[in-house]
Chain A
Amino acid sequence: GEDVEQSLFLSVREGDSSVINCTYTDSSSTYLYWYKQEPGAGLQLLTYIFSNMDMKQDQRLTVLLNKKDKHLSLRIADTQTGDSAIYFCAPEDAGNKLTFGGGTRVLVKP
């Protein structure tokens, strides 16, 4: 099955950019999603990228996909304190199932 890895923790100063990295193993992944989870809450879809794209920008969010290296990243520009949360990458396989990474806890310091 798919194996998805993320770094555990990222600390960033307010106003700086955050970059969250993700690697996956299933080269047949179709869509790749980024979700945000705040304490005690469900998951909020942030953005996604289709596997035939290498970049997608959506306001403060930029997703980069290196399909050859199976590497996905999420860049958050001008990081705010409200961006403090856990971020999950989740590739979707050909069977329409999501596999979640372990999550990256982002802490934004004022």
Chain B
Amino acid sequence: GAVVSQHPSRVICKSGTSVKIECRSLDFQATTMFWYRQFPKQSLMLMATSNEGSKATYEQGVEKDKFLINHASLTLSTLTVTSAHPEDSSFYICSASGGDYGYTFGSGTRLTVV
């Protein structure tokens, strides 16, 4: 049990466009979902925490108007990178709590903005 599905796994978009990344808990209800960003050969940096039905809490330095997070149900959270620029290129990973094992991570999304 405790599977988190993240899509897409890889996306390339043009500068100025928006990209949506989905994170779904498949076999449990995720009370809280987390979004992380990981630069090459670096650690995971928490971007925001979202609880179902309420506004996300963003970490210091993360632009909430740039990284829109929606957590409309107990099994789905989305991260939309708006007006993407090359510096937004990164590996984005979601995780969900509420399963048997604390925190379950998605497989990540490699975003490349050209």
Chain B contacts with A in 76-114, Cβ cutoff 8 A: 93, 95, 97, 101-108, 110
A contact residues around B4 at 8 Å (CB) = 42
B6 at interface, CB cutoff 8 A: yes
B49 at interface, CB cutoff 8 A: yes
A103 touches B107 (CB 8 A): no
B contact residues around A35 at 8 Å (CB) = 105
Report the Cα distance A92→B34, complex, angstroms: 13
Report the Cα distance A41→B93, complex, angstroms: 9
The minimal Cβ–Cβ distance linking B11 to chain A, given in whole angstroms, is 14
- The residue that A43 contacts in the complex, of B32, B42, B49, B105, with Cβ under 8 A, is B105
B46 at interface, CB cutoff 8 A: yes
Interface residues of A (CB under 8 A from B): 31, 33, 35, 40-45, 48, 88, 92, 96-103
